[in-house]
Amino acid sequence: MLDKGRYDVWFFSRVGWFESTIERGQAVLLEEAKVLKSLLEQGKVGRERYDVLAEKLKGDFEVMRTETRRLARVFEENGEAGDD
């Protein structure tokens, strides 16, 4: 997502929003992982299905982690105001 495009003043004015949105997404994924584990422990989901869903959650979480790193890198490389 953040690997495309040009970064301007608008982008840098929204960095905090991007960061908090990504963090909220990560929190949701962690909560979903807890629910999934609980369902496995209660026997409401089988091991195969659990493994598939857990891998999906891990993949989604890694995407968000990657975007957080990209956001930090763009911010560091371009400065607070997006100066080139």
Euclidean distance between CA atoms 16 and 41, whole angstroms = 38
The model's pLDDT over 2-30, given as tens digits with 9 standing for 90+, comes to 555 667 777 778 888 888 999 999 999 99
Buried b / exposed e over 36-61, threshold 16 CB at 10 Å, is beeebeeeebeeeebeebeeebeeeb
Mapped onto helix, strand or coil, the DSSP state of residue 67 is helix
The model's pLDDT over 32-63, given as tens digits with 9 standing for 90+, comes to 999 999 999 999 999 999 999 999 999 999 99
pTM: 0.74
pLDDT at 82 over 50: no
Q: What is the mean pLDDT of residues 66-72?
A: 89
Alpha helices by DSSP H, the chain: 9-13, 15-41, 47-78
Q: Identify which has the larger pLDDT, 72 or 26.
A: 26
Euclidean distance between CA atoms 76 and 82, whole angstroms = 9
